[in-house]
Structure 1
Amino acid sequence: MRETSWQNWSGSVRATPSAIAQPRDEDELARIVADNDKVRVTGAGHSFMPLCETGGALVRLDAMEGALDIAPDGKTAWAPAGWSLAKLTAELWRHGYSLPNQGDVNPQSLAGAISTGTHGTGAELGSLATIASGFRLMLADGSVIACDKGQNAQLFPAQRVSLGLLGIALAIRIDLLPAYHLVETIRAVPLAEIQERWDELAELHRHVEFWAFPYADDAILKTLDICDPCDPPEKQTDMDEKAFAIYCKTVRRMPKLTGSLQRQIMKGVKPTERRGPAYLIFPSDRDTRFEEMEHQLPRANGFAALNEVIGWIRDRKLPVSFPFEYRLVAGDDIWMSPFNAGSCASISMHQYAKMPWRDLFAEAEPIFRAHGGRPHWAKRHTLEFDDLGTLYPKTEDFRAVCRGTDPTGKFANRHLAELFRLGE
């Protein structure tokens, strides 16, 4: 361990931990946990909220020993919690398996993605937390336990979306599917037509989503469906990152061009198709740094919220550089999951990281909240403790498990301790 500095992927969260540690095994990790009053774990730093910010020890698990342990029936596997989704899905493919779903990037750690409720898209598919059926956890005293519906069952409903507050996940039992291939199609479609046909599109395709620039009337519609086995795709991304980066730099210098450039971009969108192994088709390169706010809304409220926020941007002539991303996610029964009230429309609002975003998000957030939105835990939001009980009826149960499992708040940084009032 050594004293150093750390920042998240977008560069907006910075910290000076007392040390950054990369333990090689559980014994070494246990010593780190025992020797430090405060410990947080980081993966790829894809959280926009200060979930990993700490003045204590910051732990990376990517050097830990570990291997996949696939169940004899092939329906589940124990996977190292610190593996990136990229590493995990490639290894699963090598053994003939796929995850039921993925998001559109894959550098995040398995534990980080699950503990924050990260998701892909699919009307019948839940967040990554829904595929987790068991955990091996290191607690604040360095001991290791397992929890699922049968053992240490009082921890399991809190651990599924835990924000790392109960302990350090060492391994996670996840659901698997036999390896499958996907065909991706992308095309420009009038936003009004997408909204009119949305329920039909959601029934026709395993995955459907779209990106809508606030100043363009057409949107980029993307569908994914299972297809026959085929070779890996030649192109590893769904968009031209270099061209998009040039556009972002231009609107940063000349914000008044935002609208005209967005309409020009949409004129250049041509129908494309990619086919290949699912683990290669789900993710795409996302190298242009941005800030993000995302809300999960009752599915019936999604378009009303999107249309209102786009109208607000146009009325104010605000230079919002990125398109909105609109997805569907199935409901679940997880205590602190934004999806536990039922099927959701997920709306992500982005801004180029080098352009002003704080005031923009602060003013847009009430629009999403007014339509029943719950923010993604790892993306920009201004939730306070008093909001939690209304949004999450199991908040007090979750807090009780946190206090019982980690009574000194070793795994709670300042942001999380204040949000959940864990020091009281």
Structure 2
Amino acid sequence: MSWSNWSGSVNAAGVVHLPRTEDELGALVRGATTVRPTGAGHSFMPLCADDDVIVSLAELDGRLTIASDRRTARVPAGWSIKRVTHELWEHGLALANQGDVNPQSLAGAMATGTHGTGLELGNLATFARGFRLVGPDGQATWCDASTEADLFEAQRLSLGMFGIATEIECDVVPAYHLRERIEKRPWAEIRERYFELARELRHVEFWFFPHADTVILKTLEPCDPCDPPPTTTDMEEASFRRLLNIGAMVPPLVPTLQRLMMRSEMHGRRKGPAHTIFPSDRTIPFEEMEYEMPQSVGLETLDELVTWIRKKRLPVSFPFEFRLVAADDIWMSPMNAGPVAAISMHQYAKMPWRDLFLEAEAIFRAHGGRPHWAKRHTLTRDDVNALYPMAERYRAVRREADPAGKFLNPHLEGLFS
């Protein structure tokens, strides 16, 4: 079968294979000219696209193994975050943080620096402690901080270029429960108090429709043990979908529709096991650009983006999402220069987005932003060199791990060959 990403905007002619054993995977890789791994297809860039072999590990044999100290676990890399967190919960364990959806494979989420929100919480790649990798010769090797250390450092955020990960050793924490609150707040208030709230609460994020003056604030806080929530989402999508479709047919109505929508009541309350509260159902297709901004200019950058959209009355139909992520030391992580404010810009998949994102990207870049690797961006090789001091060392490790470039595709070759 051929492959396309979640939004349908990236397609590839390569055949998707679902090996059931590591030996079968090794044979596929050994016999391929080029091969790319794929998870749930949540990348908006052509990271997984290939015209030869595309490999999904969704059906690969594997099991969860808990370390004796219960501080780490070895997890099949192709398992979805939903499956990983469910299995960990059965053992009284959890991930320290998650994003707001959970179909992605654990390997794919780590390989792209996917994250949740939290002033002191890093992206998912910071949880990794070791990897089992099938290399271009089809053979499996292990890397961690003391074994093949350079390979491990590069693999922490790998974009799938150093081999096919079949097992990941990652940090885990004791299972915990969360209470979710959703409410509307004036944008002026949130701009003034956001970092104060972020210091007080474990998780604070907000959505901001650019043509409205209020934001949707979402907070998560640990709570006492309780049953799973009755719903699997933080907000229903039916009415939003109807407004999106009206806006797609008559784009000049988008500003008015947003203001009308934000007049409605919004009070959400859920609580339950952490892995049931972090994710929500997201079924409306969209395109996304996300830039990780220095935290000191995050709110300023968002304000400039909103001012630009309002001045031109641009039909941006989705809200911005604003989150915080801690700094890390991963070579190609957008967070390795310091803590960031992650600003996600979305557009309904039925509406034009390319020119819109191009203009927005100029604002992001002018404020020192770095893009999320899996979200829309136009970085060149020179941009990568300017933004990432470890870029050439990263490329050197890639050349050593995969001299013939078996795990490259045209998009990655332009940046990292």
Please report the TM-score for the alignment, with normalisation by the length of structure 2.
0.99
- 1:280 is displaced (CA, Å) by 0.4
Tell me if the contact between 2:235 and 2:268 (Cα under 8 Å) persists in the aligned partners: no
Match of 2:263 in 1: 267
In the alignment, the residues of structure 2 paired with residue 236 and residue 243 of structure 1 have an alpha-carbon distance, to the nearest angstrom, of 17
SS at match of 2:343: strand
Q: Identify the residue that residue 68 of structure 2 maps to in structure 1.
A: 72
Given candidates 77, 80, 91, the residue that maps to 1:84 is: 80
- Aligned 1:32-181 pairs, distance under 5 A: 32-181=28-177
Matched, 1:297 2:293: yes
- Residue deviations 1:241-287, cap 9 Å, x none? 11111111111011111111111111113222100000000000000
Moved more, 205-214 or 257-266: 257-266
Which amino acid letter does the alignment assign opposite residue 357 of structure 2?
F
2:207 equivalent in structure 1: 211
Q: 5 Å matches for 1:293-372?
A: 293-372=289-368
**Which residue number corresponds to residue 10 of structure 2?**
13
Distance 2:125 2:342 in 1: 16
The structural deviation recorded for 1:416 is 0.2
Query: Using the alignment, how far apart are the partners of 2:292 and 2:153 within structure 1?
Result: 20
What is the count of residue pairs matched by the alignment? 417
Give the CA deviation at 1:331. Answer: 0.3
Given that residues 18 and 60 in structure 2 are in contact (C-alpha distance below 8 angstroms), is that contact kept between their aligned partners in structure 1? yes
Letter in 2 for 1:10: S
Paired letter, 1:170: T
**AA paired with 2:202?**
R
Q: Does 1:373 align with 2:369?
A: yes
* CA deviation vs aligned residue, 1:214-238 (integer Å, no higher than 9, x gap): 0000000000010000011111101
Counterpart residue type for residue 178 of structure 2: L
Matches within 5 A, 1:197-276: 197-276=193-272
Tell me what 1:396 maps to. Answer: 392
- The one-letter code of the counterpart of 1:44 is A
Letter in 1 for 2:340: C
How many Å separate the matches in 1 of 2:129 and 2:28? 27
Aligned residue type for 2:251: P
Cα deviations by residue, 1:33-57 (Å, 9 ceiling, x for unpaired): 1111100011100000000111010
Structure 2 unaligned blocks of 5 or more: none
Alpha carbon RMSD of aligned pairs, Å? 0.7
What letter corresponds to residue 346 of structure 1 in structure 2? A
Give the aligned residue type for 2:367. H
Query: Equivalents in 1 of 2:117, 2:243: separation in Å?
Result: 27
Aligned-residue sequence identity (percent) comes to: 59
For 1:244 and 1:199, the matched residues in 2 are separated by 29
**Distance in 2, Cα, partners of 1:328 & 1:154:** 28
Provide Cα deviations, 1:105-159, integer angstroms capped at 9, x if missing partner. Answer: 0000000000000000000000000000111111111111111111111211100
In the alignment, the residues of structure 2 paired with residue 247 and residue 129 of structure 1 have an alpha-carbon distance, to the nearest angstrom, of 36
